[in-house]
């Protein structure tokens, strides 16, 4: 929904925001531009909220450049064969588009070692459970760190 989870921008406005440095990260992915507005992130972090951003590999690494303590979680397919089967099963791309998506996936898989955590999405329920465990683990460590920081100030 526009203005809730996303902001849908026209090409001219998107370009203007790029030129003004308003994006924390942005990319052209499969002929569509996506980005994360810097002010959306800073305002929520300023309110003490944690954020989950769904980004491509380069966007995630760009965020890590700005926020060194960002936790990167890579969601990987069980194999390229399974990925091909899933994409073909969706039947949303023609063969040319499918080839582009698979080439992108192959390049992204090469960068999974740059992430803090890797979750293999073989079984959706297990992958979701593992993701929730990762979130809980990092959120709890963040709270423990905050408690230690608060104590150090006292």
- For residue range 53-109, what is the model confidence (pLDDT) as tens digits? 999 899 999 999 999 889 999 999 999 999 999 988 888 888 898 898 899 899 999
* 110 phi and psi angles, rounded to 5 deg: -65, -20
Are residues 83 and 146 located together in one domain of the fold? yes
Whether 30 contacts 40, CB under 8 Å: no
Q: What does the pLDDT read at residue 141?
A: 77
In a domain, 64, yes or no: no
Assign residue 100 the CATH number of its domain.
3.40.50.300
pLDDT in tens, 105-145: 999 999 999 999 999 999 999 999 999 999 999 888 765 44
pLDDT in tens, 33-64: 899 999 989 998 888 888 899 998 999 999 99
* pTM of the predicted structure, to 2 decimals: 0.78
- List of residues 6+ apart from 70 with CB closer than 8 A: 60, 63, 64
In a domain, 93, yes or no: yes
């Amino acid at each position: 929904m526009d203005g809730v989870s996303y902001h849908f921008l026209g090409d001219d406005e998107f370009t203007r925001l790029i030129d003004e440095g308003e994006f924390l990260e942005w990319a052209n992915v499969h002929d569509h531009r996506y980005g994360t507005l810097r002010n959306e992130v800073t305002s929520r972090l300023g309110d003490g909220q944690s954020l989950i951003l769904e980004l491509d590999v380069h966007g995630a690494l760009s965020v890590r450049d700005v926020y060194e303590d960002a936790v990167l979680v890579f969601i990987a397919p069980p194999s390229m064969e399974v990925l091909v089967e899933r994409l073909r099963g969706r039947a949303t791309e023609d063969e040319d588009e499918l080839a582009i998506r698979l080439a992108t996936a192959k390049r992204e898989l090469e960068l999974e070692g740059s992430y803090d955590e890797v979750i293999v999405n073989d079984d959706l329920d297990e992958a979701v459970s593992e993701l929730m465990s990762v979130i809980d683990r990092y959120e709890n460590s963040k709270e423990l760190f905050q408690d230690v920081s608060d104590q150090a100030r006292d």
